[in-house]
Chains A and B, each alone.
Chain A
């Protein structure tokens, strides 16, 4: 199964339960936490990338719902924050699609949204957090 990206929302009673642990343990899912936040009211939000057997995946989501977690598919976009970007170039070779590229001879880094696969590699690799995710 290709990795699926989902947004989870937790209420105050489930936000402290080890649900991710169970997803790994019981359903054998490979989990990549792309984003996690918890507000002062103890409500949580988490963006996950899940990998696993389709059947296990379906059971995993069922389990999450049974725990009172709401699930939404992820529709995200990546933005190049040009006020933060200093054109260091650290993102150029991690980008698999050529959406980030160097313009020569200026050596300035440009972002072509059309080509972006939203793989988020640049978001992790940019040392200055100039590549931002929007939902």
Chain B
């Protein structure tokens, strides 16, 4: 294709201080004015951003060896269980883990005031964290208990590793039932009382490179206010594009697994989230730079809220039952306007992920690139593109074989 640029060329321009970077919002009027061809020649990088609660986030640590030595088998950080079945003094804390003795939903809707997401935030904020661990004791690791206080600076390694972030697109949640429901997409009032959505639309990373032409394993990104990398495809990664009955297309299903050194991240961009009636999560700030290698990449990167659709799903009955048939498709422009129409009814909309924060991330990333402190990386391997990922299967349940006393019988060759 004419006017192709290479990534090393773009990096050269970054080093020379001559790079042209625009956020995914800023690039829209430029493409509208100059046309794709001219704009692709002028613009080198488009930056994206998203900030919202992203379950499937976690952090792992190495605490350093104790004296005498200890092989920690159960670990709690500020009373939140961390998974210690990795090694003697390594542990992983998941964003959605709740506190020991949390009342959960026993008084519905539960408040879930503190959990794994909050521990990760408090660590990054350099707050002291209570570490408690127990062990069974071995000849080489005799110690059985520890109760101490640590900060992130005391840890040998602290790594943010999120198995699924940056969902390409998300459902718009409504409630057709007769009672209020408390979901991971917020409080949904009965009978189409409101509609909640949760991506940054025209700023959202994977909506701006839907075929994953530039984003791959090893891509350097903005993660939690610091630098991170794409580690793998995210869990449930299955990008698709579907033509919609009334025109337009629905792009959805891509996800990223990301990794980065927690010690250089910022508390503002890793916020513990308490989602009423649902649980705990971690709001992650994530931004991906898209190198404008050709017109086609810029075509997707400059798509607008008017062109990006999301499915409207009933979270009152259909979604919990596992039958999420879309009630309608709406654009992000409609969602941001404040109301959408579902079944002939005007429904007020509300976001769950912050557009102002997404914009700030895209702008910060832009500045890092302009200042020359952030170079783009060529993926070391591509991620499965649209049509290339295996379809997602629901969990198939088989009847378990028991011995009549409730004990499972394992059939060696079954």
Chain A residues packing against B (C-beta within 8 Å)? 86-90, 92-94, 102, 104-108, 124-125, 127-129
Whether B196 pairs with A93 at a CB distance below 8 angstroms is yes
Q: In the bound complex, how far is the Cα of B349 from the Cα of A92, in angstroms? A: 9
| Chain B residues with a Cβ closer than 8 Å to the other chain, count | 32
Residues of B within 8 A of A92 (CB): 350-351
**Quick one: given A86-B51, A90-B186, are A124 and B111 in contact (CB under 8 Å)?**
yes
Q: In the bound complex, how far is the Cα of B283 from the Cα of A129, in angstroms? A: 13
Max chain B C-beta neighbours (<10 A), residue from A104, A108, A129: A129
| Selected A-B contacts with CB under 8 Å, 7 pairs | A90-B351, A93-B196, A93-B350, A104-B337, A107-B351, A107-B356, A127-B273
Q: In the bound complex, how far is the Cα of B278 from the Cα of A127, in angstroms? A: 11
Tell me which of A88, A94, A105, A124 contacts B354 (CB under 8 A): A88
CB proximity of B236 to chain A, nearest CB, Å: 22
Chain B residues packing against A (C-beta within 8 Å)? 51-53, 109, 111, 186-187, 189, 193-194, 196, 271-276, 281, 283, 336-338, 348-357
CB proximity of B113 to chain A, nearest CB, Å: 8
Whether A104 pairs with B111 at a CB distance below 8 angstroms is no
Q: In the bound complex, how far is the Cα of B182 from the Cα of A90, in angstroms? A: 12
Whether A93 pairs with B189 at a CB distance below 8 angstroms is yes
B197 to chain A: closest residue by CB: A89
CB proximity of A130 to chain B, nearest CB, Å: 10
A85 to chain B: closest residue by CB: B354
Q: In the bound complex, how far is the Cα of B356 from the Cα of A86, in angstroms? A: 8
Whether A89 pairs with B352 at a CB distance below 8 angstroms is yes
Q: In the bound complex, how far is the Cα of B356 from the Cα of A104, in angstroms? A: 11
Q: Is the interface of A mostly helix, strand, loop or mixed?
A: loop
Residues of A within 8 A of B336 (CB): 104-105, 107
Residues of B within 8 A of A128 (CB): 271-274, 283
Whether A89 pairs with B338 at a CB distance below 8 angstroms is no
Q: In the bound complex, how far is the Cα of B74 from the Cα of A1, in angstroms? A: 50
CB proximity of A98 to chain B, nearest CB, Å: 11
Whether A87 pairs with B338 at a CB distance below 8 angstroms is no
Q: In the bound complex, how far is the Cα of B272 from the Cα of A89, in angstroms? A: 16
Residues of A within 8 A of B338 (CB): 102, 104
Whether B350 pairs with A86 at a CB distance below 8 angstroms is no
B182 to chain A: closest residue by CB: A125
Q: In the bound complex, how far is the Cα of B201 from the Cα of A105, in angstroms? A: 14
Whether A127 pairs with B274 at a CB distance below 8 angstroms is yes
Nearest 4 A/B pairs, CB to CB: A89-B351, A93-B194, A127-B273, A107-B355
B200 to chain A: closest residue by CB: A107
Residues of A within 8 A of B281 (CB): 127
- Extra inter-chain contacts (9) besides given A90-B351, A93-B186, A128-B273, CB under 8 Å: A88-B352, A93-B194, A102-B350, A104-B337, A124-B111, A125-B187, A127-B281, A128-B271, A128-B272
Residues of B within 8 A of A87 (CB): 354-357
**Quick one: given A104-B338, A127-B283, are A86 and B186 in contact (CB under 8 Å)?**
no
Whether B274 pairs with A89 at a CB distance below 8 angstroms is no
Max chain B C-beta neighbours (<10 A), residue from A88, A102, A129: A88
**Quick one: given A93-B189, A102-B338, A125-B276, are A108 and B356 in contact (CB under 8 Å)?**
yes
Q: In the bound complex, how far is the Cα of B189 from the Cα of A18, in angstroms? A: 34
Residues of B within 8 A of A105 (CB): 336
CB proximity of A36 to chain B, nearest CB, Å: 12
Q: In the bound complex, how far is the Cα of B336 from the Cα of A89, in angstroms? A: 11
Residues of B within 8 A of A102 (CB): 338, 350-351
Q: In the bound complex, how far is the Cα of B181 from the Cα of A94, in angstroms? A: 12
Whether B271 pairs with A86 at a CB distance below 8 angstroms is yes
Q: In the bound complex, how far is the Cα of B52 from the Cα of A108, in angstroms? A: 15
Residues of B within 8 A of A88 (CB): 51-52, 283, 351-354, 357
Tell me which of A90, A106, A108, A127 contacts B350 (CB under 8 A): A90
CB proximity of B259 to chain A, nearest CB, Å: 23
B53 to chain A: closest residue by CB: A127
Q: In the bound complex, how far is the Cα of B183 from the Cα of A38, in angstroms? A: 31
**Quick one: given A127-B273, A127-B274, are A89 and B350 in contact (CB under 8 Å)?**
yes
